[in-house]
Amino acid sequence: MTHSSDIKPESWLVSAGRGSQPGDPLNVPLVPASNFLIGSGREYSRDDGTPTWEALEALVGGLEGGKALAFASGMAAIAAVFDQLAVGALVVLPDDCYQGVAGLAIAGAERGRWTLQRIGVDDTAAWVAACATADLIWLESPSNPLLTVADLAVICAAPRKASAIVAVDNTFATPLNQQPLKFGATVALQSATKFIGGHSDLLAGVATTNDLGFWHAIKKSRELTGATPGTLEAYLAVRGARTLAVRLQRAQQSAMLLAERLEAHPHVMRVRYPGLASHPTHATAQRVLKGFGTIISFDLVGGAEVADAVCQHVQLIQHATSLGAVESTMERRAAIPGQEHLPPSLLRLSVGIEDGEDLWTDLAAAIEVATSKI
């Protein structure tokens, strides 16, 4: 089959992972097998994988520009990266990142597994300095949920310890908007639960690297911890990924429309979206991202009570967690345990593929109702 570097990503998404021989099924089949007849090199799925997992790995690996491994969830892939650290390692984490990663890092530090340092996502000089001593540089860009964009081109290229790992959670950007391995990262991670699957119907994660030794190391972690993807989940992730390019294009267009209108709304204090000129890291986003994504965070006048009321009154937008799916979802992040430090009225909106004008009508009406008594 044509290599990913020979065709555009939009074509790779549709073609990757399929069979190429006469009589092969056109679509990736479900292979619900734990073990295989001995003699081909594939004996037990936990160790050797399945054709369904491999199709997902080929698809995402080609997009990211490396060799991929599929996991049971995004957190399982993340844990496999942390599993490579020796006791006493120095982990450098952004001040704004996914609470699951922060929870894992803090728990390990509390047990004496490693030392933890936090740095502002946009403090590029501090990240470059940290690369000289850190064992794990953990980056997330755009960040969750404040949507700060890190200067990956500079940070990933900075001199670092020979054994240091530079890991980038690339879930928000997707491999269509950003390829961290090309900047020099060791590994790029996707929560395939989000944009890759795109339909809120699976849990899966993918880690991609162009360091073969590191690939074998995280594969061994997957084997020993049993953090393998389900066959149905891998199948659904491949099927969902086929439409990633058109989903992302549609949702990004609507996200820009909503961000601009929210910024002009009298009951909105602040809008965080990398595509807006007012965004603190907009210039960086223009340099390192091919698109600004589909996630918007905004703070409402009136505090937590008003923000909760907006979530209760939207009808087309779903009041639910997670992101990156065909349906738009929204939630007040400070209401989530571990996220209490966030602005109390901050709403994180994941824009789906609905009509942008319909989304605005729904959101504006909910804000009007929620703020009518202020």
- What is the rounded distance in angstroms from the CA atom of residue 165 to the CA atom of residue 170? 15
Distance CA 122, CA 151 (A): 7
Catalytic, 46? Answer yes
169 catalytic? Reply is yes
The residues that bridge with 119 in the sheet, in sequence order, are 94
Q: Name the nearest CA neighbour of 181 among 203, 166, 202, 159.
A: 166
Record the tokens describing residue 323, joined without a space: 């992101």
Catalytic residue flag (residue 194):
yes
* Beta strand pairing call for 136-140 and 346-350: unpaired
Amino acid letter at 196? I
Strand segments, DSSP code E, in the chain are: 67-71, 89-94, 114-119, 136-140, 165-169, 187-191, 205-209, 268-272, 295-300, 318-319, 329-332, 346-350
347 - beta bridge partners?
Answer: 298, 332
For residues 186 and 135, the answer to whether their CB atoms sit within 8 Å is no
Q: Which of 67, 160, 194, 247 is catalytic?
A: 194
Contact 319, 331 (CB under 8 A): yes
Residue owning tokens 């073609």 = 15
Side-chain-side CA neighbours of 250 within 13 Å: the count stands at 18
Among the listed residues 46, 182, 261, 270, the single catalytic one is 46
Buried residues in 168-204 as b, exposed as e (16+ CB within 10 A): bbbbbbbbbbbbbbebbbbbbbbbbbbbbbbebebbb
Exactly one of 96, 98, 222, 250 is catalytic; name it. Answer: 98
Q: What is the largest CA-CA distance in the chain?
A: 72
- In whole angstroms, give the CA distance from residue 205 to residue 218: 13
Amino acid making up residue 76:
A
Q: Which of 135, 169, 299, 308 is catalytic?
A: 169
Are β-strands 67-71 and 165-169 bridged in parallel, bridged antiparallel, or unpaired? unpaired
So which residues are the catalytic ones? Answer: 46, 98, 169, 194
